[in-house]
Amino acid sequence: MTASIDIRDAFKTFGHGPQAIHALEHAKLAIRPNEFVTFVGASGCGKSTLLRMICGLESLSRGSIAVNGQPIAGPGVDRAMVFQHYSLYPWLTVTQNIKFCRQLKAHTRDRTSADVEKAAGRADALIRLMGLSHVADAYPSQLSGGMQQRVAIARALMSRPPILLMDEPFGALDAQTREVMHDLIRHVHRMEGSTIVFVTHDVEEAIYLGQRIVLMAPRPGRIDTLYDVPLPAERHQDMKLTPEFLALKREILERIRETSGMKTDLEQLARLNADVGADAALTTD
């Protein structure tokens, strides 16, 4: 199952008057069904705000966001979100955590026990897909960070959401675990057919995972540049060392520095250091 996302001139302002924060202005983007899009950009440029708006957790100040052509009016089962901090229920096992929400939904909607059983089959399939079979009966506190995040992803996938929204989901993991998670999430993308919108601070992660990269800029928050990733659909870790990968990484990092004002800060710092150097040279003479 998959879906398109149409962001149509979206605006988001927090507060009013001179204190207003323009978190997002004139955001326009069409995300194709089953596309894997990654978002990068300086802190505060509105990445999480935009993701929350796609999820329906945050309202728009102006414009609209449509899923399969239908403007969204709030959260829905067609969209699932994974955050950096995996909020698992500590008193439930891995399997129970994955099944829990689905079972609640199945009961509250007056479904039959057959629905619950079907959900259990899906949970078992996800446990296998995420490589969690050997810890299915363990509790979250007994798992590593990477495993806990796999449980959180499996739980998000339980209702077969056509859209998976991920906000720095691997930000708290070490480099090696992250590499494993990258290949795993690409596998999930292929197997589940979901459209994935993935926010990260890590440009390398954005290139390795994405088919397209959206670079956002702050003050006001906006979409600055779109990059097509010039890598084949099938990826492997060695590609991170190829000239085209490194060239794109350099280009994106440079643009983030420019749009965040960091480049100006660095230039000022360099000038300051040069002045201090000159003064030091004068005093030692």
If the CB atoms of residues 140 and 221 are measured against ligand ATP, the closer one turns out to be: 221
CB 154 within 8 A of CB 129: yes
Q: Assess 23 for contact with ligand ATP (CB under 6 A).
A: yes
Residues 6+ apart with CB under 8 A from 114: none
Q: Which one of the spans 26-34, 45-53, 86-94, 240-248 is the region binding ligand ATP (CB under 6 A)?
A: 45-53
If the CB atoms of residues 48 and 194 are measured against Mg ion, the closer one turns out to be: 48
If the CB atoms of residues 46 and 56 are measured against ligand ATP, the closer one turns out to be: 46
CB 156 within 8 A of CB 113: no
Among 34, 38, 48, 200, which residue sits at the site for Mg ion (rule: CB under 5 A)?
Answer: 48
Nearest CA-CA partner of 247 in 202, 217, 215, 207: 207
- Judged by CB under 6 A, the number of residues near ligand ATP is 12
Question: Which residue number is nearest to Mg ion in terms of Cβ?
Answer: 48
- Shortest Å distance, C-beta 149 to ligand ATP: 17
- Shortest Å distance, C-beta 160 to Mg ion: 26
Q: Assess 200 for contact with Mg ion (CB under 5 A).
A: no
Q: Assess 46 for contact with ligand ATP (CB under 6 A).
A: yes
- Shortest Å distance, C-beta 214 to Mg ion: 14
Q: Assess 47 for contact with ligand ATP (CB under 6 A).
A: yes
Q: Which one of the spans 44-52, 134-142, 203-211, 236-244 is the region binding ligand ATP (CB under 6 A)?
A: 44-52
Among 34, 49, 194, 200, which residue sits at the site for ligand ATP (rule: CB under 6 A)?
Answer: 49
| Rounded distance between C-alpha atoms, residue 222 and residue 7, angstroms | 12
| Rounded distance between C-alpha atoms, residue 158 and residue 162, angstroms | 11
Q: Assess 43 for contact with ligand ATP (CB under 6 A).
A: yes
Which string of x and - marks every residue 187-226 that binds ligand ATP (by CB under 6 A)? ----------------------------------x-----
DSSP bridge pairs for 10: 27
Q: How far is CA 136 from the centre of its chain?
A: 26
**Contact residues for Mg ion, defined by CB under 5 A:** 48
**Contact residues for ligand ATP, defined by CB under 6 A:** 14, 21, 23, 41, 43-49, 221
